[in-house]
Amino acid sequence: EVQLLESGGGSVQTGGSLTLSCTASGFTFENSDMGWYRQAPGDEGDECEVVAIAYGDRSTYYADSVKGRFTASRDNTGNTLYLQMNNLVPTDTAVYYCAKDGDYGVSTTTCARFGIWGQGTQVTVSS
């Protein structure tokens, strides 16, 4: 069974840092493109933002909104995906989801391409 389990969310003040972790099981992690997306308060239905992607070839993608502040990394030995978040601001407040590529890979512009995602972890940034 494919599973993704996130941890590491919490509440911080502006300028703080958090590290999210996602432990994967049930598939060949090292061959998969993995990503983080978020749903902010007020987002409806499938509204979401692809925050970062850690591709299987070790390349990465970041949304402009987090570039320079967030770092995605992966430990293929431990089947774990990370998201280091620094200099957090209130607009980063959201539920963050770890996700695995779908049948057609991943997309930087839509979360719908992901095939599997975790239960989500809440990140709250106060001013």
Give which of 46, 49, 109, 51 is closest to 81, Cα–Cα. 51
Q: Rounded to an integer, what distance in angstroms lies between the CA atom of residue 33 and that of residue 86?
A: 23
pLDDT of residue 8: 97
pLDDT of residue 45: 76
Residue 124 tokens read as 């709250």
pLDDT of residue 57: 94
C-beta pairs of 68-75 under 8 Å, 24+ apart in sequence? 72/35, 72/36, 74/29, 74/34
Amino acid at 83: L
Per 3-state DSSP, the chain is made up of helix, strand and coil in percentages (nearest 5) of 5, 50, 45
pLDDT of residue 43: 85
Write down the residue that tokens 């280091």 correspond to: 84
Interior angle at CA 15, CA 13 and CA 19, nearest 5: 85
Q: Please give the average pLDDT of every successive group of 10 residues along the chain, which has 127 residues.
A: 96 98 97 96 86 96 98 97 98 97 92 94 97
Q: Rounded to an integer, what distance in angstroms lies between the CA atom of residue 13 and that of residue 127?
A: 6
* Residue 114 exposure: Cα atoms within 13 Å on the Cβ side: 27
pLDDT of residue 86: 98
pLDDT of residue 116: 95
